[in-house]
Amino acid sequence: MAYTVRLRKDKFVAGALSFGYLSVYSMAKAMKVQRSTVKRVLDGELQPGSVFIASALTAFEVEFD
């Protein structure tokens, strides 16, 4: 069985804003990924991969087990 991870854009953006990341650039910098990667994920052009997810969890200080 295959599983798909989908980004809840509204929750992601709300979390980013709560940490003071007001732009795609500031989100990408905090996540240590390319700005284009964040933009493409937010635009739905790219599914978030493991690096993106791990980077977001780290930048937003979320624990994941």
Q: Which CATH number belongs to the domain containing residue 50 in this structure? A: 1.10.260
Residue 59 near residue 31, CB atoms below 8 Å: yes
In a 13 Å sphere around the CA of 30, the CA atoms on its Cβ side amount to 20
Position 65 pLDDT exceeds 80: no
The span from the CA of 3 to the CA of 52, in Å, is 17
In a domain, 2, yes or no: no
Size of the chain, expressed as the number of residues it contains = 65
Please state the rounded mean pLDDT for residues 60-64.
85
pLDDT of residue 1: 82
User: How many domains would you assign to the chain?
Assistant: 1
51: domain range?
A: 9-59
Question: pTM, whole model, 2 decimals?
Answer: 0.83
Residue 49 lies in a domain: yes
